[in-house]
Structure 1
Amino acid sequence: DFKVAGTADGITSLQMDIKIPGITEDIMRQALHQAQAGRLHILDEMAKALSGSRESLGEHAPKIETIKIPTDKIREVIGSGGKVIREIVEKSGAKVDIQDDGTIKVAASEQSKIDAAIKMIESITKEAEVGKIYDGKVVKVVDFGAFVNFFGAKDGLVHISQISQEKVGKTSDVLSEGQSVKVKLVGFDDRGKTKLSMKVVDQETGEDLSEKIAADRAARGEPEEEDRGGGERGDRPRRDRGDRERRPRREYGG
Structure 2
Amino acid sequence: MQDFDFIQARTIAEAISLAAGDEDAKFLGGGQTFLPALKQRLASPSKLISLRTIESMKGLTSEGGELVVGGGMPHAAVASSARTLFPALASLAGRIGDPAVRNRGTIGGSLANNDPAACYPAAVLACGATIVTDRREIAAMDYFQGIFTTALEHDEIITAVRFPVPGEANYQKFTQPASRFALAGVFVARFPDRVGVAVTGASGDGVFRWREAEARLTEEFEPSAVEELIVSPDSMIADIFGSKDYRAHLVPVLTARAVRAILSR
TM-score range, shorter chain: under 0.3
Q: State the structure with more CA Rg.
A: 1
With structure 2 as the length reference, what TM-score do the two structures score? 0.23
Normalising by structure 1, we get a TM-score of 0.24
